[in-house]
Amino acid sequence: MSTKIEQVDLSQKIRELYAIRKELELQFPGRKFTPDGHLVGSIGEVLVADCYGLKLLPNSTEIHDAIGDDGKFVQIKATQIKRIAISSEPDHLIVIKISDSSEWEEVYNGPGSFVWRNAGKCKRTANAL
């Protein structure tokens, strides 16, 4: 049984996080303190799970982040820019965009197969195996 996160508490904590980021950028002009990577991903996962009543799977579960009451597996992606990266085809995909003010909006909620078929090729980096 999943525990419903108190939405006011969650939203407040995220606003505080983004406020601290802005304070640091004012204190250190020219430096960016943009939350990224795991932090934004984890924020997105808890926001979406709470909003849609999903149960989060254990951290680092392959392909999917959550499961719905209907048994549907869901991958959750959060971004602060205009793109995401996916490395495998999820059953269902929810993508949200988080703004600098910590507000978020759903940008995609649908079959993972649609995004997977239309995604560009993965770019290999110098560190890729």
**Residue 30 forms part of a structural domain:** yes
**Residue 37 forms part of a structural domain:** yes
Residue 7, pLDDT score = 54
**Residue 127 forms part of a structural domain:** no
Our count of domains for the chain comes to 1
**Residue 16 forms part of a structural domain:** yes
Q: 28-81, pLDDT tens digit by residue?
A: 888 888 787 788 888 899 999 999 999 999 988 999 999 999 999 999 999 988
Helix, strand, coil % in the chain, rounded to nearest 5: 35, 20, 45
**Residue 51 forms part of a structural domain:** yes
Q: 1-20, pLDDT tens digit by residue?
A: 334 445 558 888 888 988 99
Write out the residue range of the structural domain in which residue 100 sits.
Answer: 7-117
**Residue 1 forms part of a structural domain:** no
Cα distance between residue 18 and residue 35, in whole Å: 8
Residue 128, pLDDT score = 46
pTM of the model as a whole: 0.78
Residue 104, pLDDT score = 92
